[in-house]
Amino acid sequence: MPAVILISAALLLIMPRVWMPIRPASIFTQDFVQGRVEKVLSEDLTPDPILQNRFRGTQQLEVRLLDGVYKGQVHEVYNTLSSLHHTRAVAGMKALFTVRTENGKQHVWLYNQKRDGYLYILAGIFCGLLLLLGRWQGFRSIVALLFTGAVIVTVLIPCLFAGFSPVPISILLAGLITAVSFLLIGGFSRKTTAAIIGTIFGIGLAGAISLVTGYAAQLSGINMSGGEQLLNIARDYRLRLDGLLFTSILIASLGAVMDVSMSIASAMQEIYAADKSVSKKALFLSGLAVSKDVTGTMSNTLILAFTGSSLPTIMMIWGYGMSYRQFTNIPLIVIELMHGLAGSIGIIAAAPFTAAVAVFLLTEKTSVQKP
């Protein structure tokens, strides 16, 4: 495992330097600065007639900027509250401000409430619980999770902006994430090998289904949420949107397929370790028995996850009284359903495949038995 960690760390340290020359320049002409509301000088607010506990109106604030070259500066800021932009300032509140300099004069606006602290708290609780319950295994899981996120941010996205085809680069990196994550968590073993092979098969099938279905339905990355904005970016860079749908489904289904494959491989290893005289057929059937519950719950989880992410869109469509035929032909809805269904098919297919590979690897006789 130390070798895996060192190689992974070296890769993640090198890649940002490699891709730095092609990183898009920021489109923002203002600076985003942390600040604190010193006083609420005046406010004219009325309750929002639609949304509870929200207000409309204006506030006049005295704020102190806390970052960089602006540190210590005090400004009067007007804050407008509406149904969409609702950040009601109170004295002592930390917030994010935008600062733009025009003709030597600084213009400051309240951009948003500072929320990253809550994310850090949740991340700390998550890591703490993982370490408390999993101890060394929990630490490995955290490292694997950080590696996954780093690969997506420092390798996948720069590769896409550099003009690489989304399909092969996604398959390659999904395989890398799977292998490194499993090796970090489970170490080098036949169980881990079976889980890696099963996962790659499952996500490969899910990706292939999305590729074929997307082509037949004439769907691509431009039909996804944010696709129109990506099209504007693609005009200035070599970004290819044709295979982006494949990439999104591959990444979205990766975690669930990994979970199923490792659960089946681990259960089969325990069965074989308890009784090495068990026949290959009985071991395989035991793996299938385990897979029935796992695939059912994980498929349900995957569908519910995509439903939850699309809930506002679904509610909007229902509120407009759209017909079933109209609803099921909206590109965004079709893509979300493809995400869930293709991923679920990948999960179902990965289960027996992982079981078959595990039977072969666990029962294979070698000079050194290491299940």
**Per the structure, how many domains does the chain have?**
2
Alpha helix ranges (H) inside 217-371: 227-234, 244-274, 280-309, 311-319, 324-327, 331-363
12 with 151: CB under 8 angstroms? yes
Bridge-based pairing of strands 105-113 and 55-65 is unpaired
- Confidence bin at 264 (pLDDT 50/70/90): very high
Give residue 245's domain range. Answer: 136-363
How far separated are the first and last CA of the chain, in Å rounded?
17
> What pLDDT is stored for residue 5 in this prediction?
58
CATH number of residue 44's parent domain: 2.40.50
Q: What is the pTM of this model?
A: 0.78
Q: Are residues 98 and 149 in the same domain?
A: no
Dihedral over Cα of 204, 206, 208, 210: its sign: negative
> Is residue 21 domain-resident?
no
> Is residue 127 domain-resident?
no
Q: Are residues 188 and 42 in the same domain?
A: no
More confident residue, 319 or 195: 195
| Per-residue pLDDT tens digits for 67-118 | 888 888 899 988 888 888 878 888 889 999 988 888 778 888 898 888 888 9
Q: Does position 299 have pLDDT exceeding 60, yes or no?
A: yes
Chain length of the chain: 371
Q: Are residues 209 and 349 in the same domain?
A: yes
> What pLDDT is stored for residue 246 in this prediction?
84
More confident residue, 211 or 228: 211
Q: Which two tokens stand for residue 92?
A: 């002592």
Q: Are residues 250 and 297 in the same domain?
A: yes
> Is residue 128 domain-resident?
no
Q: Does position 202 have pLDDT exceeding 80, yes or no?
A: yes
Q: Are residues 226 and 294 in the same domain?
A: yes
| Per-residue pLDDT tens digits for 184-193 | 887 888 899 9
